[in-house]
Amino acid sequence: MAKNMAALVFSSAHPPAATACVHLQRPTAFLPPWGWATLLTLLLLTCVAAPLLALVVPEGSILHLSQYWVGLAGKILCYAMVALAMDLAWGYTGILSLGHGLFFALGGYAMGMYLNRAMNTASGNLPDFMQFMQWAHFPWYWQGTEYFAYALILALAAPGLLAFVFGFFAFRSRIKGVYFSIITQALTYAAMLLFFRNETGFGGNNGLTDFKVLLGFPMGTADMSVALFVASGVALAAMFLFSRWLVRSKFGRVLTAIRDAESRVMFCGYDPLWFKLGVWTLSAVMCGLAGALYAPQVGIINPSEMSPANSIEIAIWTAIGGRGTLVGPIVGAVLVNAAKSWLTVAFPDVWLYLLGGLFIVVTLFAPYGIAGLWKQWKQSHD
């Protein structure tokens, strides 16, 4: 099924809308008035309404927001950050990555290392999997992860450095299109196999789990779930505003030109290598931050997060929402994962078929995704 999805993603990597013309006009407004109103409303719902419903409203009330729904919403917000990161690389630059799940997982592992160290600080014992391996101390690459600030920097730096090194050689060799997508998928698959090995020091098949303390506060409580949910919502809003600024800048307009006509950009005197490498690395860093917020909310991070199928799903969220729009991939990630949470319980055997069918329908009848349908409807009523 994953291979079929990959083929479908490849087929939609260059929709018929691509044109030889390079448009670099600057939009007139950072956000339209309704855009600011929507953003502020969502922030109020995230930072004020949700905490009140979860922590103040009694559990017996119909308005009470349970800890389960708070955790699920926080997890989906993390997925939305990854979709937004994918949109910068794919939607605005034309770089279809099937390895973003690796960057997401690396951020989660960095935070998981801190959470494991925090859990074992009081007892002075090593994690269970290290005791099983009969190790006497933490590996050298675990040093410093007992500090939250270091772990957070590591969650951003590890995927960013990997993306920079990998992207430099790939883009310098002018690897692009389907070939680039294939090698990114190979990269994440190789990393998954590496992390499955117990001797790598990351928990092997089980990964890192059993988190109990974050910044000195107990995990698994309603207060912690709400705090992580709010942090995820604020981080997503900040990423969106930064991405909006970036794509409207000269840098962002060159990215769009590279997507539409890379050869013409080269003739104009720009070197696409550094523009593509910059947005590719930035996209990986954004995925790392999303992974760092994801791990404490789900309570586990393991090699399955690096599965190539997960990276393909990220591309599907972006395509369904609408590439090159920023808002579309966020909407796509939220809708698809909300549907997934329900359908995997109601129809667990057919969920992947429904996801594949949805992507086929969008590719054939709505190549610009949900955001494209909205633009068409709006234009028809203007």
Distance CA 122, CA 116 (A): 11
Check if the beta carbon of residue 279 is closer than 8 Å to that of residue 82: no
The residue among 377 and 21 whose pLDDT is bigger is 377
Average pLDDT over residues 241-262: 93
Percent of the chain with pLDDT over 70: 91
pLDDT in tens, 202-236: 988 888 988 888 888 888 899 999 999 999 999 99
Helix (H, G, I), strand (E, B) or coil at 118: helix
Report residue 369's pLDDT band, with 50, 70 and 90 as the boundaries: confident
- C-alpha span between 352 and 340 (Å, rounded): 9
Instruction: Tell me if 6 sits within 8 A of 316, measured CB to CB.
Output: no
Q: Model's pTM, two decimal places?
A: 0.88
Burial of 234 (0-12, 13-18, 19+ CB in 10 A): middle
d(CA 79, CA 132): 33
- What whole-number distance in Å separates Cα of residue 331 and Cα of residue 143? 39
| Mean pLDDT, rounded, of the chain | 86
Average of pLDDT values for 244-262? 93
Supply 109's token pair: 């592992």
Q: Write the CB contacts of 221 (distance below 8 Å, at least 6 apart in sequence).
A: none
pLDDT mean over 24-49 = 82
Nearest of 220, 293, 225 to residue 51 by alpha carbon: 225
Report pLDDT for 11.
46
CA end-to-end span of the chain, whole Å? 42
Which of 209-213, 334-338, 376-380 is least confident? 376-380
- Banded model confidence at residue 364, pLDDT cuts 50, 70, 90: confident
Using only C-alpha atoms, the chain has a radius of gyration, in whole angstroms, of 21
pLDDT in tens, 113-125: 999 888 776 566 7
CB 316 within 8 A of CB 97: no
Question: Where would I find the beta strands (DSSP E) of the chain?
Answer: 208-209, 213-214, 217-218, 300-301
| 3-state secondary structure at position 214 | strand
Could you give the residue ranges of the DSSP H alpha helices within 89-198? 100-121, 128-132, 148-172, 178-196
pLDDT for residue 342: 85
Paired residues of 214 in beta bridges = 217
Mean pLDDT of all residues in 180-194? 94
CA dihedral 143, 146, 147, 151 (to 10 degrees): 70
Res. 22 pLDDT band, cuts 50 70 90 = very low
Tokens of 156: 């951003």
**Pairwise CA distance, residues 59 & 55, whole Å:** 9
Distance CA 282, CA 232 (A): 18
Q: Is 90 exceeded by the pLDDT of residue 375?
A: no
- Domains of the chain, by residue range, sit at 2-12+68-380
- Residue that is written with structure tokens 């009523």 in the block: 381
Residues 32-44 have pLDDT tens digits of 888 889 899 999 9
Give the model confidence (pLDDT) of 271-327 as tens digits: 999 999 999 999 999 999 999 999 999 999 999 999 998 999 999 999 999 888 999
CB of 88 closer than 8 Å to CB of 266? no
Residues in the chain: 382
Higher-pLDDT residue of 360 and 222 is 222
pLDDT for res 204: 87
